[in-house]
Amino acid sequence: MWVPIIIITLIIQMAVKVLVNTLGQHIVADAKQVENKETKELVAYWVKNPRLAAYSRDEEGNLAVGFSPFCVLSDEQEFTIRTDSVVAILEPRDDVLAEYERIVEGAQVVPVPAEEAAEALTEEAPAEEPVAAEA
């Protein structure tokens, strides 16, 4: 049986964007478009270092933004998201971009001795620091 092969092309330039998906999640990631090479149709977004953004306002109206891993069940930090799952793509605010970059740059894997790793598994992991921003 003959199966057609779809050839895709990644557009090389990546940029940090806020992707809003159909579930309403705000995903901050280094993203680029994935196109079908033959039809030039946009088929997906390639994301690197995706983080879910969570935010709240205090009593004075100040905005606090925090980040969490996109999928805690996987260690993958690069993958595609289908275009039909994305409802909006936005530029992040400068303060949000700075905090995202700080967190991603600090997320590099550092070897940990087995004893420390076992000890860390029994402790509660600290949440990534929120960034405070003016409304």
Amino acid of residue 37: K
Over the chain, what is the mean pLDDT?
Answer: 80
For residue range 39-74, list pLDDT tens digits in order.
Answer: 999 999 999 999 999 988 888 988 888 999 999 899
pLDDT of residue 63: 82
On whether residue 3 sits in a domain, the answer given is no
- CATH code, domain carrying 112: 2.30.30.100
Domain range for residue 91?
8-133
Instruction: Report the distance separating Cα 49 and Cα 95, nearest Å.
Output: 18
Task: Give me the torsion for CA of 119, 124, 128, 132, rounded to 10°.
Answer: -140
Are β-strands 26-36 and 63-69 bridged in parallel, bridged antiparallel, or unpaired?
A: unpaired
Nearest CA-CA partner of 85 in 34, 38, 37, 36: 34
- What is the pLDDT averaged over residues 112-118? 49
The whole-model pTM stands at 0.69
For residue range 2-14, list pLDDT tens digits in order.
Answer: 656 555 555 557 8
Tokens 């992707």 locate to 19
Give me the number of domains the chain comprises. 1
